[in-house]
Structure 1
Amino acid sequence: MFQSFTIIVAFAALFSYINHRLLKLPVTIGILILSLILSAGFASLREFSPYLFQQACQVVDNINFREILMDVMLSFLLFAGAAHVNLKALKKERLAVFLFATLGVLISTGIVGVLTYFVLGAIGIHISFVHCLLFGALISPTDPVAVLAILKGANVNKSLELKISGESLFNDGVGVVIFLSILMVAEQGVEHFSFGEILHLLGFEAIGGLIYGTVLGFLGYYLLRTIDDAPKIEVLITLAIAMGGYSLATLIHVSGPLAMVVAGLIIGNRIRSDEFSDSSRAHVDMFWEMLDDMLNAILFVLIGLEMLTLSFDSNYFIGGLLAIVIILIARFISVGLPFSLMKSKEGSPLKTITVLTWGGLRGGISVALALSLPLSMPREVIVFITYVVVVFSILLQGLTIGKLVKKMKFSGSNI
């Protein structure tokens, strides 16, 4: 595994360099494109050099994508992403973020599940309704890793950026909880669960994660405050909060992703206050920014190389293209309905909803959740369709969101 990880890191460094010197695209998009080209090159070796192809597949298989993202990288990425969000500004958008991250995800899960069931059935791919709901749950949350990485260069105005980034940070945790709840129902049978039990499970995981994250955040803040101007120890404490806090969340069965978001928001905003020295702020910010960039590079190399594990099927590919349309429709409705409940001061709600729809990027978390499905379920088709949607989302939506924002005149400070 260490050798495989070394190879992945080397590719991440090489692709970052090539993108910086030649492609000059947003880092994550450039790395993903180069990784897909590399995967296509390895895939072409299947006929000419089976040994080299098998070796390439072994490198990818040795690093279990689901485990390395969900159990290792996600805590760092969410903590780092949340730590750089302005909490005071986010509070102004709290209603929008709350509605998009809860009601929006539930609406999208239902719409995607229903439409996928009928559309896939029409092209000869027969999947049970509960498995289609599972697909809806794993694909509906926008991915904070992809969203935060790509929004950096999109020149989106702060209000709209906070809606998109804040939603992606929280709906990730909500989406994982919904996915796990539906997965439990799918594995044990609907007859063994009541609606009340499902709501209780959702509530305990989500609310428990928020409370636990708040405790973690203030505990970390207290520890940091008592040793101000000891930057190396402060960095170590934040690292312990992200790693140990996430692991403990898994043991006590509360949402680790939500806990990391809340803890990151509290610690990140507190450390930027006047209570801490410039040296402390600089060291902690620099450490988490570097770690965030490094893990993002590795993650998008892994997403590109995951193509090697897929078995191409033309029907699955058509299903993936149709799923893209379904997900965009579901996203438009799931954003539009909650948006209509808010008293918006924005001039053109339709423009805002359009940008929110196109800016709802899917990423590695969706792929990881799909890969976590047991083999007894239609895992192969769900993974393939998820992969098609994610690649489209990152490449097409990610490359054009800045242009759409500019066209809609949402850039800069205008709103």
Structure 2
Amino acid sequence: MHTTPYIVLLFIGYLIFTIDKKKEDLPVPPILTLIGIGLFFIPYFSSIEVTENLIYHIFLPGLLFISAYRFPPSALKENGGIIGFFATIGLILTVILLGSIIFIMSTPFISMSFAGAILIAAMLTPTDPVSVASILKQSSGDEMMADVVEGESLINDGTSIVIFSVVSGIFLNNEPFSFSFFLGEFLLVSLGGIFVGLLFGWLFSKAIHFTHHKEYQVMLSIVVAYGIFNLAEFLDLSGVLATVFAGIMLSFEFGRTIKEDHFRESLDNFWGIVEISILSLLFLLIGIVSADHLSFNYWWLAILIFLASIIVRFIIIAGTTQVFPKWRQKIGWRKSFLLSWSGLKGTMSVFLILSLSTQGGERTDVLLSLTFAAVLLSLIIQSIGIYPLSKRLLK
């Protein structure tokens, strides 16, 4: 693998982040994605290979750990019920409803099986809060909304992988669906990953006291972020949830037992640079890898799928929040729509698409193109729209 193109991409990301000092109106991710699409047509970048392993094992653990250890424990305590419901039961309901609508909508365009429609829905349900949470805070000052969006995204990444694995098995191998098997697999993988994350996150919070050298403590955080992820995956548990809950445990321990005053500052300084670097590469690569799938004849269907994903998410959020009085007091229809719009697609969706591409071959080409197109529409349109919508709906 030639590293020079990646260095060039990193430099492009640096330029965009430096130039774009005001991120409220136009966040960086859609700009990088559009640039990536343009770079696809330059032969110099043709040697770049974007694989699911690159995204899943290199980019994702770092991003998850960063978001998780920064996530305030008070927000999880205050909004844990909403976050947990949206990221599990709400996500499953979204997959079923969105998949059914996609199956019906696709009839005039192409012949698509119900399993194929559900598979598209499964790839479109994980959300990516990159830049959205900060925009919500800047535009409205409503930290609860930002916390729900970010917390849901952290947990639903793990949920979506389990659902995708079951549905892709049905679609590719004609396996029968067993609800009891799905529920057992979901609970084992999810709860096992959470347990591993909490255990090693707690151990890490104790281990940092063995040295007062901030460099060594940051080194240990790298081991934790990537080590826990790969350990859980080795045990056939959720590496995503393991890393997330390790970071949440670390966040919980801040100010309680961790008395190293310089530790959080050192952690923020290091992982802040890592975050910007990963995001620069990631969204440029998303543009590059998606460009090859965007020349197809069903763009109208892709647009309908994108619109349906927002509508279905709104139905689930607005419907479920009305069932519980405490949630109804916090989230009215305005906030329900803003939460729906804030659920843009990104990293995890692209990983799932690449995974299906590896497993399915040519028989999945149309599904991949439809999903890539819907992800790009979500990433660009929802990112651009989040600031004006939040200003209007939360004023």
1:89 offset after TM fit, Å? 2.3
Q: Does the C-alpha gap of structure 1 residues 264 and 398 become closer, same or farther in structure 2, counting only changes over 3 Å? A: same
Q: Does the C-alpha gap of structure 1 residues 405 and 28 become closer, same or farther in structure 2, counting only changes over 3 Å? A: closer
Contact 1:146/1:394, CA 8 A, preserved across alignment: no
- Identity over aligned residues, as a percent? 26
Pick aligned residue for 2:286 from 286, 300, 303: 303
Q: Which moved more, 1:18-27 or 1:342-351?
A: 18-27
Q: Which residue of 1 aligns with 2:7?
A: 9
Structure 2 residue matching 1:314: 3-state secondary structure: coil
Q: Which amino acid aligns with 1:340?
A: Q
Whole-Å Cα distance in 1 between the matches of residues 182 and 65 of structure 2? 28
Q: Which residue of 2 aligns with 1:126?
A: 111
Whole-Å Cα distance in 2 between the matches of residues 405 and 32 of structure 1? 18
- Say how many residue pairs are matched: 392
Q: Does the C-alpha gap of structure 1 residues 58 and 404 become closer, same or farther in structure 2, counting only changes over 3 Å? A: same
After TM superposition, the structure 1 = structure 2 runs for residues 10-409 of structure 1, keeping only pairs within 5 Å, are 10-21=8-19, 24-25=22-23, 29-30=27-28, 32-37=30-35, 39-40=37-38, 42-43=40-41, 53=43, 55-59=44-48, 61=49, 63-64=50-51, 66-123=52-109, 125-145=110-130, 147-148=132-133, 154-191=139-176, 193-227=177-211, 229-273=212-256, 275-310=258-293, 312-315=295-298, 317-342=299-324, 343-344=326-327, 346=329, 349-373=332-356, 374-376=359-361, 378-409=363-394
1:93 offset after TM fit, Å? 0.3
Whole-Å Cα distance in 1 between the matches of residues 305 and 167 of structure 2? 20
1:26 offset after TM fit, Å? 6.0
Whole-Å Cα distance in 1 between the matches of residues 272 and 366 of structure 2? 36
Contact 1:75/1:260, CA 8 A, preserved across alignment: yes
1:41 offset after TM fit, Å? 6.0
Whole-Å Cα distance in 2 between the matches of residues 31 and 105 of structure 1? 24
Contact 1:12/1:31, CA 8 A, preserved across alignment: no
Whole-Å Cα distance in 1 between the matches of residues 80 and 248 of structure 2? 13
Contact 1:335/1:357, CA 8 A, preserved across alignment: yes
Q: Which residue of 2 aligns with 1:47?
A: none
Q: Does the C-alpha gap of structure 1 residues 146 and 197 become closer, same or farther in structure 2, counting only changes over 3 Å? A: farther
1:107 offset after TM fit, Å? 0.9
Whole-Å Cα distance in 2 between the matches of residues 341 and 273 of structure 1? 36
**CA deviation profile, 1:260-301 (whole Å, cap 9, x unmatched):** 111011113323446322212211121122211211111111
Query: Structure 2 length as normaliser, TM-score?
Result: 0.91
Contact 1:39/1:305, CA 8 A, preserved across alignment: yes
**CA deviation profile, 1:228-270 (whole Å, cap 9, x unmatched):** x321111111111111111111111111111111101111332
1:186 offset after TM fit, Å? 2.8
Structure 2 residue matching 1:329: 3-state secondary structure: helix
Q: Which amino acid aligns with 1:136?
A: A
Contact 1:83/1:264, CA 8 A, preserved across alignment: yes
Whole-Å Cα distance in 2 between the matches of residues 249 and 172 of structure 1? 15
Q: Does the C-alpha gap of structure 1 residues 83 and 27 become closer, same or farther in structure 2, counting only changes over 3 Å? A: farther
Q: Which amino acid aligns with 2:249?
A: I
Q: Does the C-alpha gap of structure 1 residues 13 and 148 become closer, same or farther in structure 2, counting only changes over 3 Å? A: farther
1:16 offset after TM fit, Å? 3.2
Q: Which amino acid aligns with 1:401?
A: I
**CA deviation profile, 1:161-208 (whole Å, cap 9, x unmatched):** 1111111111111111111122223334333x5321111111111111
Contact 1:155/1:402, CA 8 A, preserved across alignment: no
Contact 1:12/1:297, CA 8 A, preserved across alignment: yes
Q: Which amino acid aligns with 1:8?
A: Y
Whole-Å Cα distance in 1 between the matches of residues 272 and 218 of structure 2? 12
In structure 1, runs of 5+ residues without a counterpart are 44-51, 411-415
1:225 offset after TM fit, Å? 3.2
Q: Which moved more, 1:381-390 or 1:350-359?
A: 381-390
Whole-Å Cα distance in 2 between the matches of residues 136 and 38 of structure 1? 25
Contact 1:204/1:254, CA 8 A, preserved across alignment: yes
In structure 2, runs of 5+ residues without a counterpart are none
Query: Structure 1 length as normaliser, TM-score?
Result: 0.87
